[in-house]
């Protein structure tokens, strides 16, 4: 810098010398025009002094100018530098502000991070989640303290993947491996896997593992980080729910849903001719009676005992399930032939030869079983079950306590029954029923003392249908209730008509189903019909079949019978001898009359033991204070026999077949006034 200033000064002085020479050269010609030498000398002197002065002056001016110029330049430079400095200063100030702001932001961020770390920690503690990390390149795994705490291991015990895999439940290893493989191969965003892991104490815990993987540029996984959650409780809940969904709540046996699933698999195998299996549909006979008479608590206990007994049946390849209510089902797999199935069925029925002991009760139970085979008896589960049901109902129809193998004829019968049931329903609306009346004769006087009302169905297509073809159908469908109401009213009206016609003593016996008797309003209904028709209660007799009454007998029915008897209505135990024939039981029933079944009467002429039994029954019934009616009397010898034993009343073809009302009314005098036997 100093050097350039010196250069500049030399240049300025140089310029100044050059300018002086120039001025001198310019001043010289003026000397040539001088007029005299003195003048010239003077002029020359004067000119010289002036020139020097002038030159000095100019030099000074130039120096001044140069200085001014120089100062200006310095000033400008300083100004510029000042401006630059100001700018730098401003910039610095600004960036300082920025830095300050950034610093503040960092502080805030740090605070946020700290808070979220704390929150994360809290969340982890609250959710019981634990953290794991897996360096795949080194095969080194590490776990948060909590993982180790949860499983009861030390970190160094679980260093490699192999260490971890060793602890996975043998049934879950495949799942774990498969999940990892697909995660790596498909580079899925998140790895998810649920499996059981063995804790240090030997117990297994369910873990839900979730993780994220880092892949290198070649797509190879090199790091995984994730969490473990203990989902043991959740899994147990799920298991419980699944168990509930697939098992019967009361007995713990597989339910219909699970039975269906398994059976469907078996059907597929059977269709491919791989196996042959039998399905046994079991219904507990008269279970309702147990429930009604001993209470639902005992009923439930009985079902549990039955389920235990069936489940204990010794055949390894079986499945016992409960379909609902009192219905069980057994699947017998891998059977050799039908003969083997038959032997199994016999043994299973045999399980019910012993009573089930329920606290103080010895409960004798029988079962009805329908048996189907797969593949021949059904293409699918529904069909198999329907056919087994048909066979089971057949077993009930044949008197319960037995097994029946399904056959195609049964299905046709069943379908016919269904058609009947539908037309029965329409028949009520179309009033296709009619009552026939069969006289009852007092053996002593030989006169008709009353009638039994017997229903008939006048079917437009099939003609006259007898009650045995539709009463049980009506009972099953509940149609017996409206039908029975109609019978009762019609019969009472008929009896009242006879009274009005001058035969006030004639009674009317009406058959009543236990389905009717079980209706809460039955007693009221009878009372109101009597009131409506104007028939005296003493002229009405209600006939209840022995077997049904005893099977369904409970304290409700007992109370109803008492009430009816108290009103003066006669209660007749019908078909005595066809069922239990227990006179001891009869003592407990509120009945007024015993009607001996026609099968006993039919045997009278054979002069064998049964004849004596009939006589003995009459004697015993009389001892119990009961009136005795003999039904199905067809021959004079039978009358003779019955007379000898002082049977009170007889009913049968020997007197008259059941007749329609108009026929009775047409020969009324003859029928009701004369001695008929
Ligand atoms: P039940 O009450 O024991 O009726 C007697 C059955 O024996 C009647 O059959 C009758 O026609 C028949 N019978 C009468 N005398 C003789 C005879 O000398 N020999 C033979 N072989 N049979 C004789 P029906 O009318 O076919 O009735 C059958 C069953 O249907 C009745 O047996 C009764 O249990 C039931 N029933 C009839 N009408 C009704 C009704 O209105 N309601 C209910 N719930 N059941 C009824
Ligand atoms: Mg009867
Ligand atoms: Mg009878």
Give the other-Cβ count within 10 Å of 303's Cβ: 24
Specify the pLDDT at position 458.
96
* Residues 288 and 393 both lie in one domain: yes
Whether 148 is covered by a domain: the verdict is yes
CATH number of the CATH domain containing 390: 3.30.70.270
Q: Whose CA is nearest to atom 37 of ligand 1?
A: 454
Q: Which atom of ligand 1 is nearest to the CA of 467?
A: 30
Asked if residue 491 lies in contact with residue 530, where contact means CB atoms within 8 angstroms, the answer is no
**Which of 199, 214, 237 finishes a domain?**
237
Q: Length of the chain in residues, anyone? A: 677
**Which of 72, 104, 122 finishes a domain?**
122
Split into its structural domains, the chain has a count of: 4
> Ligand 1 pocket: which of 432, 454, 571 to mutate (most atoms <8 Å of CB)?
454
CATH number of the CATH domain containing 442: 3.20.20.450
Whether 52 is covered by a domain: the verdict is yes
Q: Which atom of ligand 1 is nearest to the CA of 474?
A: 44
Q: Whose CA is nearest to atom 45 of ligand 1?
A: 511
Whether 413 is covered by a domain: the verdict is no
Q: Whose CA is nearest to atom 11 of ligand 1?
A: 658
Ligand 1 site, CB within 6 A: 438, 454-455, 466-468, 471, 484, 487, 511-513, 543, 545, 574-575, 598, 631-634, 651-653, 658
Specify the pLDDT at position 45.
56
Distance 573 CA to ligand 2 centre (A): 9
Distance 632 CA to ligand 3 centre (A): 8
pLDDT in tens, 213-231: 999 888 889 999 999 999 9
DSSP run (H or E) holding 400: none
Between CA 390 and CA 41 the distance in angstroms is: 169
Q: Which atom of ligand 1 is nearest to the CA of 595?
A: 3
**Which of 237, 266, 298 finishes a domain?**
237
Whether 590 is covered by a domain: the verdict is yes
> Ligand 1 pocket: which of 453, 482, 511, 604 to mutate (most atoms <8 Å of CB)?
511
Distance 61 CA to ligand 2 centre (A): 163
* Residues 164 and 62 both lie in one domain: no
* Residues 221 and 76 both lie in one domain: no
Specify the pLDDT at position 358.
83
Whether 364 is covered by a domain: the verdict is yes
Specify the pLDDT at position 17.
65
Whether 532 is covered by a domain: the verdict is yes
Q: Whose CA is nearest to atom 4 of ligand 1?
A: 454
Parent domain of 512: 437-454+478-673
* Residues 647 and 532 both lie in one domain: yes
Distance 661 CA to ligand 3 centre (A): 20
Specify the pLDDT at position 276.
86
Between CA 592 and CA 561 the distance in angstroms is: 10
* Residues 526 and 632 both lie in one domain: yes
* Residues 104 and 138 both lie in one domain: no
* Residues 443 and 363 both lie in one domain: no
Between CA 447 and CA 649 the distance in angstroms is: 10
Q: Which atom of ligand 1 is nearest to the CA of 436?
A: 25
Q: What is the CA radius of gyration of the chain?
A: 59
* Residues 636 and 586 both lie in one domain: yes
Specify the pLDDT at position 49.
67
* Residues 213 and 107 both lie in one domain: no
Specify the pLDDT at position 547.
76
Whether 417 is covered by a domain: the verdict is no
Between CA 676 and CA 441 the distance in angstroms is: 8
Specify the pLDDT at position 555.
81
* Residues 175 and 228 both lie in one domain: yes
Distance 566 CA to ligand 2 centre (A): 21
Residues in the chain with pLDDT values less than 70: 1-14, 16-17, 19-21, 23-51, 117, 120-128, 605-611
Q: Whose CA is nearest to atom 12 of ligand 1?
A: 632
Between CA 46 and CA 43 the distance in angstroms is: 5
Whether 416 is covered by a domain: the verdict is no
Distance 576 CA to ligand 3 centre (A): 8
* Residues 600 and 538 both lie in one domain: yes
> Where do the H-state alpha helices sit in 398-521?
408-429, 471-477, 480-500, 514-517
* Residues 77 and 175 both lie in one domain: no
Distance 619 CA to ligand 2 centre (A): 21
């Amino acid at each position: 810098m100093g050097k350039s200033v010196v250069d500049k000064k030399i240049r300025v002085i140089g310029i100044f010398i050059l300018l002086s020479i120039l001025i001198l050269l310019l001043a010289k010609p003026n000397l040539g025009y001088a007029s005299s030498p003195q003048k010239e000398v003077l002029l020359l002197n004067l000119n010289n002094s002036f020139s020097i002065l002038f030159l000095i002056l100019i030099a000074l001016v130039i120096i001044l100018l140069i200085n001014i110029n120089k100062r200006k330049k310095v000033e400008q430079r300083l100004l510029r530098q000042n401006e630059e400095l100001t700018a730098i200063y401003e910039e610095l100030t600004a960036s300082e502000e920025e830095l300050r702001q950034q610093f503040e932001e960092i502080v805030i961020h740090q605070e946020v991070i700290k808070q979220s770390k704390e929150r994360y920690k809290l969340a982890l503690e609250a959710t019981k989640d634990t953290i794991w990390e897996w360096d795949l390149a080194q095969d080194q795994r590490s776990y948060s303290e909590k993982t180790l705490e949860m499983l009861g291991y030390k970190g160094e015990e679980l260093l490699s993947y192999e260490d971890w895999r060793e602890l996975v439940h043998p049934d879950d290893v495949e799942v774990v491996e498969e999940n990892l493989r697909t995660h790596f191969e498909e580079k899925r965003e998140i790895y998810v896997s649920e499996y059981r892991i063995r804790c240090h104490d030997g117990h297994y815990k369910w873990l839900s593992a979730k993780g994220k993987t880092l892949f290198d540029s070649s797509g190879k996984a090199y790091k995984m980080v994730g969490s473990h959650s203990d989902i043991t409780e959740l899994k147990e809940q799920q298991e419980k729910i699944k168990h509930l969904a697939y098992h019967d709540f009361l007995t713990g046996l597989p339910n219909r849903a699970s039975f269906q699933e398994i059976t469907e698999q078996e059907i597929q195998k059977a269709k491919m001719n791989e196996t042959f299996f039998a399905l046994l549909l079991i219904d507990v006979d008269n279970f309702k009676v147990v429930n009604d008479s001993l209470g639902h608590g005992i009923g439930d206990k009985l079902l549990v005992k039955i389920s235990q007994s069936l489940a204990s049946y010794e055949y390894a390849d079986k499945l016992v399930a409960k379909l609902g209510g009192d219905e069980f089902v057994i699947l017998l797999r891998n059977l050799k032939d039908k003969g083997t199935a038959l032997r199994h069925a016999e043994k299973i029925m045999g399980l019910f030869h012993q009573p089930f002991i329920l606290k103080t009760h010895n409960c004798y139970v029988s079962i009805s079983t329908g048996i189907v085979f797969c593949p021949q008896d059904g293409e699918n589960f529904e069909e198999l079950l329907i056919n087994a049901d048909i066979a089971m109902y057949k077993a009930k129809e044949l008197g319960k306590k037995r097994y029946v193998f399904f056959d195609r004829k049964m299905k046709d019968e069943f379908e016919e029954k269904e058609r009947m049931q539908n037309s029965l329903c329409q028949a009520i609306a179309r009033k296709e029923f009619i009552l026939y009346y069969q006289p009852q004769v007092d053996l002593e006087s030989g006169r008709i003392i009353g009638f039994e009302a017997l229903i008939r169905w006048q079917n437009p297509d099939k003609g006259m249908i007898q009650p045995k073809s539709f009463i049980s159908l009506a009972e099953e469908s509940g149609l017996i209730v409206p039908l029975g109401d109609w019978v009762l009213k019609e019969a009472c009206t008929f009896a009242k008509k006879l009274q009005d016609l001058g035969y006030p003593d004639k009674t009317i016996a009406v058959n009543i189903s236990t389905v009717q008797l079980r209706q809460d309003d039955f007693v009221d209904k009878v009372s109101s019909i009597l009131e409506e028709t104007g028939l005296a209660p003493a002229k009405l007799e209600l006939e209840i079949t022995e077997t049904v009454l005893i099977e369904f007998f409970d304290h409700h029915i007992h109370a109803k019978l008492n009430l009816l008897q108290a009103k003066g209505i006669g209660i007749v135990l019908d078909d005595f001898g066809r069922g239990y024939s227990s006179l001891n039981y009869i003592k407990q029933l509120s009945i007024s009359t015993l009607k001996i079944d026609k099968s006993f009467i039919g045997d009278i002429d054979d002069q064998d033991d049964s004849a004596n039994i009939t006589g003995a029954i009459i004697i015993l019934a009389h001892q119990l204070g009961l009136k005795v009616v003999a039904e199905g009397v067809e021959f004079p010898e039978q009358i003779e026999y019955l007379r000898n034993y002082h049977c009170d009343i007889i009913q049968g073809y020997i007197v008259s077949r059941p007749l329609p009302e108009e026929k009775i009314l047409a020969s009324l005098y003859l029928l009701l006034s004369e001695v008929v036997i």
